[in-house]
Every structure is written in C-alpha cells, then in structure tokens.
Amino acid sequence: MSSDHGPASVLRPTPAGLWCREGDFYIDPPRPVDRAVITHGHADHARAGHGAVLATPETLAIMGERYGVDFAGQTQALAYGERLQVGGVEVSLAPAGHVLGSAQATVRRGGFTITASGDYKRRRDPTCAAFEPVPSDVFITEATFGLPVFRHPPDTQEIGRLLRSVQQFPERAHLVGAYALGKAQRVIRLIREAGWDKTIHVHGAMDRLNRLYERHGVDLGPLAPATTDTKKKDFEGAIIVAPPSALADRWSRRFPDPVDCFASGWMRVRARARQRGVELPLIISDHADWDELTATLDELRPGEVWITHGREEALERWCELQGIPARALRLVGYDEEEGEGE
C-alpha cells in the first residue's frame, strides 16, 4: 500500500534496507544499490560498490581508506547541518557521536521529518563530534544494547583499571583488543587523557585509520608498530592496541605473558569475556547503553519510534509505557553480535 502522506512517503523499511521513494535512495543498504546515503564507515553500514554515495566528508574519506578510492561510482560530500534537495525530499546529516564522521540522516518532505540515527552514543568522545538531537516526527533508533542490564560505566574508570594493571604487572605486556575504526582511536586518546605519554604500540592493520584520525585533528601521541623486529623484552610494561581477532592469533605470541584486554560494550557480560579468554574486560562502547537510549527518546519525544538492529523488545515496551508509538523494523544485514564498534 502506498500513501502520499505520512512516514511511508518519506522512508520505508524494505528487504533491501530503508528506502526513500521520493529521493530514490537507500540508507546504509546491506547490498550494492544505485544511490545510497551512508551514516558511518563501519563495514555493516558502509559497503563498497554503490552507484552513488552521499555521506559526510569524513565518512567518504574512511570508505576510501578501507575500500580504495573507487569504492563507489560517484560520491558527494554533505557536511553536518547542510541541507540538500534529493528528488522530492530534503536530506541533512547531524552528528551521531559514534565514530569520526558518523551521522544521523534526516529526510524531510512536506513538513514531515524522519531521522535515522545510524549507530550513536551520548557520552563524550574526544575523537568525534557529539550527538545532536534533531526534532523529528519519526526517530529511527538503534538498539544494540537495548536491555536494562546494559549500563556502561564511565570510560575513565575503565581506562583507570587498564593503567593500574599495567602498573601492577610491569613485566607483562597489555594487549588491548579494539575495533580498528573508532574504538582503537578512542581508547588511545583516552589513555593519553589519563596521562600516559609513553609510546603505544599498534597493530599494522590500524595504521591507516590512525593516520586518518590524526589528519582530522585527533592527536594520538607517540605510536609505534608492534613488529617482530622489537625484542620480546622491550614489550614489558607496554600497551599494544590491536584488532580483537589478533588477540587469539599467533601474532600475539611475540609479547611477554600478555594480559588480554578487550574494549567492548559486550564485556558487561562476564560469560562473553571468559569465552574469549579475556583477562581484563574493559566496558567501553561506541553504542548508547540503556540509559542513553531511553534518555534520548525522552529528550526527543518523537511522534513515533522505529527500532532497528539490536534488542528491540525491551525498548518497544519502554516506549509503550511512555505512550510513544513504537515498532521494530527487523532490518537484516547488520551485525548485532560481534559487529564493529561495539
């Protein structure tokens, strides 16, 4: 059924993703399409191979770094706050506070506004612009940590635990698993803010994104590659940041008796930490926790909430109790479990 008014004329969920008929584009489509609006550079939102991509300049730079400069037929940059007419709708991007360049996509038509948050968080992140609330008739929220059990502690507290452990075990290396886009740079920046000014060793897979962040004004301090040329003894007392997959890899054997750490919102679940053999779980997430999700919906008070990838039921129920109409979109193709940036 098609309607010329209301939400469905602006944006609608389809098997191929959130689709805007009037503008003929998809938001974060899981498969290649002619025209895509991309909220941020994580792999489950930003795929290569679209005909045309509209995104923030930072997200385009990140996609170029990850997929090569030919990642789309054509690209168009849209800075935060700029408005662009696309077919029958107006599109704008607002900061989502998730990773560098991350944006909420707002689509307007005839006085009706829908905002797709993409992934977001509300707490301070020294590596990206803070989330900006956009008054909307429909707000599409993520719900990765949409259960009351998920309450992320202050990140300064988690970094404090890491640095105390380094002090306590000066003969061991601390190997911090962190996703290469966003989490790694945030963890490094937080370690700097906690006063650690020594060299931090990084896995080679992170080099390019670290440099990209630095080009965008995020000072990561002295970094060095964690190469085999370095003697095992030289890594005593060192902090090494690497993609989570590298922790279980033979790559990690070059370090002296490493303390495996993992920076993720999932570390709130002890069984997960144990399962992965994580000795020092660090609960640091780039997604809103339960309190941030509900505070955001409370602040925005949209006419309607649509809930996408994550744990929809509890948030749906919360909205119901608050008198905010809500529905779960059940879009497919997004990593809900061990996805990037969690």
Q: How far is the CB of 38 from Zn ion (least distance, A)?
A: 11
Question: 119 or 292: whose CB is closer to Zn ion?
Answer: 119
Site string for Zn ion, 323-342 (x = CB under 5 A): ------------------x-
Could you give the CA distance from residue 294 to residue 268 in angstroms, rounded to a whole number?
19
Helix (H, G, I), strand (E, B) or coil at 200: strand
Q: With contact defined as beta carbons under 8 Å apart, do 95 and 128 qualify? A: yes
Nearer to Zn ion, 119 or 312 (CB): 119
- Two tokens, residue 302: 């949209």
Gap between the terminal Cα atoms of the chain: 36
- Please, which residue, 42 or 47, has the CB nearer to Zn ion? 42
Instruction: Please classify residue 70 by burial: count the beta carbons closer than 10 Å to its beta carbon, then call 0-12 exposed, 13-18 middle and 19+ buried.
Output: exposed
3-class DSSP state for residue 90? strand
Which structure tokens are listed for 114?
């829908």
Which residue lies nearer to Zn ion by CB, 42 or 203? 42
* Alpha-carbon span 176 to 80, nearest angstrom: 32
Q: Does 302 bind Zn ion (CB under 5 A)?
A: no
Instruction: Closer to Zn ion by CB, 95 or 341: give it.
Output: 341
Distance CA(146)–CA(292), nearest Å, equals: 10
* Nearest distance from C-beta of residue 334 to Zn ion, angstroms: 5
Distance (Å, whole) CA 212 – CA 193:
20
CB of 310 to Zn ion, least distance (A): 8
- φ, ψ for residue 272, nearest 5 deg: -65, -40
Task: Give the H/E segment covering residue 143.
Answer: strand 138-143
Min separation Cβ 338 and Zn ion, Å = 12
Of 302 and 341, which has the nearer Cβ to Zn ion? 341
Site for Zn ion in 108-137 (CB under 5 A): 119
Of 130 and 224, which CB lies nearer to Zn ion in the complex structure? 130
Q: Shortest approach of Zn ion to residue 123 CB, angstroms?
A: 15
Site mask for Zn ion (CB under 5 A), range 27-56, x = bound: ---------------x--------------
Closest distance of CB 102 from Zn ion, Å: 7
Binding residue count for Zn ion, defined by CB under 5 A:
3
- Residue 206 and residue 182 in contact, taking contact as beta carbons nearer than 8 Å: no
Nearer to Zn ion, 109 or 183 (CB): 183
Output the six-digit token pair for 180: 């290469």
Is the CB of residue 91 less than 8 Å from the CB of residue 83?
A: yes
For residue 275, which amino acid is it?
Q
In angstroms, give the least distance from the CB of 168 to Zn ion: 33
Shortest distance, position 121 Cβ to Zn ion, whole Å? 10
Give the residues lining the site for Zn ion (CB under 5 A).
Answer: 42, 119, 341
